[in-house]
């Protein structure tokens, strides 16, 4: 269920970076929030809410026209989501 939100979040983050729109990055933050809250509730991923702060800071950098820094701030959430996806997929194999 959360995977659709994660994909939509990455799509809106990509749109935000391409268009240099901080508003789209805030949309990405709100779409990624349920996934981050869920991960933060598990004992293994405490502190996952920090990822939301990175989305917010990326929105600020887009507001200040720093597209490269905003893109770099999206790497931790991308890496975390790919890591979780690999864990989930390996359980089914």
In the prediction, which pLDDT does 45 show? Answer: 87
Could you tell me if 56 and 32 are in contact, meaning their C-beta atoms sit under 8 angstroms apart? no
Domain chopping of the chain, boundaries: 2-92
Give the closest residue to 77 by CA, choosing from 53, 42, 46: 53
Euclidean distance between CA atoms 10 and 31, whole angstroms: 9
pLDDT at 1 over 80: no
Residue 67 has pLDDT above 80, yes or no: yes
State residue 79's pLDDT score.
Answer: 95
Average pLDDT over residues 37-60: 92
The model's confidence at residue 15, banded by pLDDT at 50, 70 and 90, is very high
> Residues 6 or more apart from 1 whose CB is under 8 A from it?
none
Render pLDDT for 78-91 as a digit per residue (tens, 0 to 9): 999 999 999 989 99
């Amino acid at each position: 269920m959360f995977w659709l939100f994660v994909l939509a979040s990455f799509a809106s983050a990509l749109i935000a970076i391409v268009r240099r729109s901080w508003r789209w990055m805030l949309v990405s933050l709100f779409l990624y929030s349920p996934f981050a809250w869920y991960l933060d509730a598990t004992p293994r991923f405490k502190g996952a809410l920090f990822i939301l702060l990175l989305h917010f800071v990326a929105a600020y950098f887009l507001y200040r026209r720093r597209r490269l820094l905003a893109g770099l701030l999206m790497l931790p959430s991308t890496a975390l989501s790919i890591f979780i996806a690999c864990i989930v997929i390996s359980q089914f194999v």
